[in-house]
């Protein structure tokens, strides 16, 4: 139970297979039902939400993997928690806790805003972040993986750790919300470089050099533009491990999703050009051409 003796209600925005359905049944802190907002699609004449609730399986994005029966797919975001933040405004309690699994950011005239900051400022709630070397199909197949949760409040970090951790999915927590999520976004820049190396058949030594230089530039960029980034964050699953998994792992099917790294490169280059720092980030600048 929480300090107030009330069970936390858990809701998901997005239909990724994130273990939560099974974990809420293990702890007194959580209500047993988990509502999962799914963008409604028609699959062979049937609504995707109906198929998920009937078959307990995401037949389009994670076929063959069971979703716990206490997870209910719903097409209306207001059933549990806004497009997306706009619909949520005024609909959620100030004590609501959120965690962002988004490996991206919002770009603005003044720079790059982490999504946790966007959500927190829009909804006026506390937001943690989760990122790591987490290829979805491997987690669904219960292959051992690690991830990292960034928190501002240690108690919230521990609460979300309970929600996500299993014997095959180990969760580390760090006091660095922004660092965790920016690692998840910026690693895609390094992945583009490694993809170019693979395409040109330049070899593993060249790829290793790209990873080393890219990782250093990633660290430098984050610490230059964001206060409070911790050195240890880069050596958690969200940092170097995610870079390795992305650059050396099996190719993942995008399934209609955009390649994030190209957009990330453009936004970072815009920031660097505005600040006159192009010469200090040779690798990142190169990938923009």
pLDDT at 121 over 90: no
CA–CA distance from 37 to each of 80, 83, 134, 188 (Å)? Answer: 8, 12, 21, 26
pLDDT confidence of residue 57: 87
| Residue 171: inside a domain | no
| Residue 128: inside a domain | no
Arithmetic mean of pLDDT over the chain? 84
Q: What is the CATH number for 264?
A: 1.10.1040.10
Lowest mean pLDDT among 115-119, 221-225, 262-266: 262-266
Distance CA 272, CA 163 (A): 38
| Residue 249: inside a domain | yes
Catalytic residues: 187
65 appears as a binding residue in the annotation: no
**Residue 74, C-beta contacts closer than 8 angstroms, at least 6 positions apart:** 35, 36, 37, 38, 49, 80
Domain boundary among 50, 81, 112: 81
| Residue 73: inside a domain | yes
39 appears as a binding residue in the annotation: yes
Domain boundary among 81, 116, 146: 81
pLDDT at 239 over 90: yes
pTM for the whole thing?
Answer: 0.79
* Structural domains of the chain, count: 2
Q: What is the CATH number for 1?
A: 3.40.50.720
Taking only the tens place, the pLDDT of each residue in 5-54 is: 678 888 777 666 567 888 888 888 888 888 887 878 888 889 998 999 99
pLDDT at 136 over 90: no
Asked if the bond preceding 84 is cis, omega within 30° of 0, the reply is yes
| Residue 40: inside a domain | yes
Task: For residue 18, give its domain range.
Answer: 1-81
Distance CA 136, CA 63 (A): 12
pLDDT confidence of residue 81: 34
pLDDT confidence of residue 256: 43
| Residue 72: inside a domain | yes
pLDDT at 257 over 60: no
Pairing of strands 145-150, 126-131: antiparallel
Straight-line distance from the first to the last Cα atom of the chain, in angstroms, rounded to the nearest whole number? 54
Lowest mean pLDDT among 182-191, 224-233, 254-263: 254-263
The top-scoring range by mean pLDDT among 172-176, 184-188, 256-260, 283-287 is: 172-176
Taking only the tens place, the pLDDT of each residue in 149-206 is: 999 999 999 999 999 999 999 999 999 999 999 999 999 899 989 989 999 999 999 9
Domain boundary among 34, 54, 81: 81
| Residue 158: inside a domain | no
Q: With pLDDT > 70 as the criterion, what percentage of the chain qualifies?
A: 85
| Residue 202: inside a domain | yes
Taking only the tens place, the pLDDT of each residue in 86-99 is: 666 666 777 889 99
pLDDT at 254 over 50: no
């Amino acid at each position: 139970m929480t300090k107030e003796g009330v069970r936390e209600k858990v809701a998901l925005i997005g239909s990724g297979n994130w273990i939560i359905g099974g974990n809420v049944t293990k702890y007194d802190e959580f209500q047993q039902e988990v509502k999962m907002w799914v963008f409604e699609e028609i699959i062979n004449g049937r609504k995707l939400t109906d198929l998920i609730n009937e078959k307990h399986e995401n037949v389009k994005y994670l076929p063959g993997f069971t979703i716990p029966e206490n997870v209910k797919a719903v097409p209306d975001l207001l059933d549990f928690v806004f497009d997306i933040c706009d619909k949520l405004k005024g609909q959620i309690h100030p004590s609501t806790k959120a965690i962002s699994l988004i490996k991206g950011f919002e770009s603005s005239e003044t720079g790059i805003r982490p999504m946790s900051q966007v959500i927190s400022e829009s909804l006026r709630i506390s937001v943690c972040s989760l990122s790591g070397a987490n290829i979805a199909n491997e987690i669904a197949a219960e292959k051992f993986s690690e991830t990292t949760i960034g928190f501002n409040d240690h108690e919230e970090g521990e609460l979300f750790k309970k929600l996500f951790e299993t014997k095959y999915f180990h969760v580390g927590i760090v006091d660095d919300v922004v660092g965790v999520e920016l690692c998840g976004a910026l690693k895609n820049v390094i992945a583009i470089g490694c993809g170019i190396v693979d395409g040109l058949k330049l070899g593993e030594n060249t790829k290793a050099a790209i990873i080393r230089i890219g990782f250093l530039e990633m660290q430098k960029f984050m610490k230059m533009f964001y206060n409070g980034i911790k050195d240890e964050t880069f050596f958690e699953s969200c940092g170097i491990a995610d870079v390795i998994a992305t650059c050396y792992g099996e190719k993942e099917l995008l399934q209609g999703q955009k390649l994030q790294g190209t957009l990330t490169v453009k936004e970072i280059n815009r920031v660097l050009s505005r600040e006159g720092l192009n010469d200090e980030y040779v690798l990142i600048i190169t990938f923009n051409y």
